[in-house]
Amino acid sequence: MRQLRYRLLDVFSDRAFGGNQLAVFTDSRNVSAELMQSIAKEMNLSETTFVLQPEDSINDHRVRIFTPAVELPMAGHPTIGTSFVLARDRLTERLEKTTSLRLEEKVGIIKVSIEWENNLPAFIEMVQPLPIFGPRYADAGAIAEMLSLGPEAITDTNLPLEVVSCGVPFLFVPLRDLQAIRAIRLRVDVWEKVLKSFEAPHVFVFTMETEVPGSTVHSRMFAPAAGVSEDPATGGASGPLGCYLARHKVLPPARMLECVSEQGLEMGRPSFIRIRIEQNEKTEITAVRVGGRCHPMGEGHLEIEE
């Protein structure tokens, strides 16, 4: 019987029972992809990560990320949370006040910076791939029906339904206000008809009306294709969200555009994701950064028959 140890933590929260849960298996040698997928389904969290030796010695670690249903090429809260665990368990070298990591993920090399406070990892920020802006979805009525809303909740914003990817594509759906976003009831039967085969089946919904002082945008994310009915904090979509807000000048133009996405409040798991978008003088996006804090929740092990 083999024991596989894991750490459990809440990501994009500085306190217990907030943010997005994550299980990190720090020693995944000789664990097959099929077993990783089975473990992720067993853990039944939005994501579970597995840490491996890097394929290139210039990098620090290789990380594989699984939802209960599929493996992801990249994801935000798993990258942030895994980096936190590696730093907290001293599985990566600490250099003065900031530690830099190079993580191998399916999408490529992800750079991470870790800021320390009182000899513990505090704020962690990842650099995401530059955005790819995909197609727009023309039928606002179909998306509104999927969300159990009237179409005017979308069309009143005068913003497009648009696909944006910084490694994983999401369909961004702007909504008029908090009342609309709170009223969402995702109809999976309609999702299967309109988005299941679309190039971005994950739905990221946002409004510029917020609940918490200091937040910039209020968000929700639904991913039936990944086995996640709703996600309390989606770092992989937050970088593209910042890119969407920059491209459509929803926020005032700036060389360094900074904002905070509040997410998970409808689920009772408040999450706060800091987004930084760097632009040049032509307002071309040159860097996408997403960061936040983590709270350790515990540890355990699985017993696997070999």
Q: Is 296 left (phi over 0), alpha (psi -120 to 50) or beta?
A: beta
End-to-end CA gap in the chain:
6
Catalytic member of 34, 47, 104, 306:
47
State which amino acid sits at residue 90.
Answer: R
What is the C-alpha separation between 197 and 205, in angstroms, rounded?
19
Q: Which residues contact 42 (CB under 8 A, 6 or more apart)?
A: 302
Asked if residues 176 and 157 have their Cβ atoms less than 8 Å apart, the reply is yes
The encoded tokens of residue 51 equal 């840490």
Is residue 47 flagged as an active site residue?
A: yes
Reading the block at residue 211, the tokens are 């609940």
Return all residues near 31 (Cβ < 8 A) that are at least 6 apart.
4, 25, 39, 50
Q: Report the catalytic residues.
A: 47
